[in-house]
Structure 1
Amino acid sequence: MQSGDATTINVGDRSSGDHKGKAAAAPVAIKASKHAKGGWKRGVAIFDFILRLFAIGAALAATTTMGTTDQTLPFFTQFFQFQASYDDLPAFTFFVIANAIASGYLVLSLPFSIVSIVRPHATGARLLLLIFDTVMVSLTTAGAAAAAAIVYLAHNGNSGANWIAICQQFDDFCQQISGAVVASFIAAVIFMLLVVMSGLALRRH
């Protein structure tokens, strides 16, 4: 080997190779972040579906319990009896209608909830559920609040208006309507949770 000779090593492609490696790694990182976000949204959608099942049970329990509430006080003659029924009061009738509508909506919303599980990035079904869930919050809360006011009067009466408490006589009637109101408030709270979860799932980041 002569002293005048020089050995050259081509290192010019190393930077281009690093650039290609970074460029190839970028789509992998993007796909990983999308997969993580999709997994989080799918978990929210699964929890949404479970909550809807519980809400169906609560709303149906409120509807059937109030709708079948009826008590007749026994007296010595069959021509002189006191009877208490839910349809004697418009607030209880509205309560039954509101919770029946909520129950029917919840059953119809299950397929849309399943779509959100299968396609967690789809916003159409989630937005539709958010809108109708918000309406159902108002409906169930209004029905439960109206019925709760009558239940309070039934238990405590109102001395200023000379309204006597009837629950000492109609104890079974009062127990059933009280349980129906509690079930309706549970359904309303679940609707509120569904609205919050839908809002979180629709976030872009």
Structure 2
Amino acid sequence: MKSEGAKRGLNKGLGIADFLLRLGAIITALAAAATMGTSDETLPFFTQFFQFEAGYDDLPTFIFFVIAMALVGGYLVLSLPFSVVTIFRPYAVAPRLLIFILDTVALTLTTAAGGAAAAVVYLAHNGNSSTNWLPICQQFGDFCQNVSGAVVASFVTVVVFMMLILLSGFALKRR
């Protein structure tokens, strides 16, 4: 039978792991939003007066992605104090339950934004011959690299959220 101190130490360790995972998720979520938000490329065509431009704000899906990832990053920053509470009060159920529920909502939003953006990035790389959409990544290589990197960062955020939810569920189950 485990002693009370060992249980408290494990719960405190779960709180520390939660805090560190949140810091990692903040970095990846805000990096995804910033990378997508700053992705644009201009190609001159014959003259300087006639140019082709690709930017994230040309597609509503990418705008949704930037807003969603910024919201998720903001939520993660605001959830840090609750995570700290779980370190110093490892048996407090209310903060753990609150961040468990809100993490699930944030996971859903992050997955939706990443999945929608991934579909558009796929079309940018491969096109669609049935609808005569040509791939644009041969012309706008830097733009495609930036948006692809942002999508990858969003899916890293999704994985971190899954670990946070599992961690919170495990901590709640131990009550």
| Uncovered stretches (5+) of structure 1, i.e. residues with no partner | 1-28
Q: Relative contact order (C-alpha < 8 Å, sep 6+): which is higher?
A: 2
Partner of residue 36, structure 1: 6
Q: Distance in 1 between matches of 2:125 and 2:96?
A: 42
Partner of residue 107, structure 1: 77
When the two chains are superposed, the root-mean-square deviation of aligned CA atoms in Å is 1.2
The CA deviation at 1:79 is 2.4
Q: Which has the larger radius of gyration?
A: 1
The CA deviation at 1:203 is 1.3
Query: Where does structure 1 differ by over 6 angstroms across 4 or more consecutive aligned residues?
Result: none
The letter for the 2-side match of 1:145 is: G
Compute the TM-score of the two structures, normalised by the length of structure 2: 0.97
The letter for the 2-side match of 1:148 is: A
Q: Tell me the number of residue pairs that the alignment of Structure 1 and Structure 2 aligns.
A: 175
Matched, 1:177 2:147: yes
Partner of residue 56, structure 1: 26
The CA deviation at 1:34 is 2.1
The aligned runs of 1:183-194 (5 Å cut-off) are 183-194=153-164
Q: Distance in 2 between matches of 1:134 and 1:195?
A: 7
Matched, 1:90 2:60: yes
Partner of residue 3, structure 1: none
Indicate which of 137, 143, 146 corresponds to 2:116. Answer: 146
The aligned runs of 1:130-169 (5 Å cut-off) are 130-169=100-139
Indicate which of 79, 94, 97 corresponds to 1:127. Answer: 97
**What secondary structure does 1:74 align onto?**
strand
| Uncovered stretches (5+) of structure 2, i.e. residues with no partner | none
Partner of residue 41, structure 2: 71
**What secondary structure does 2:50 align onto?**
coil
Compute the TM-score of the two structures, normalised by the length of structure 1: 0.83
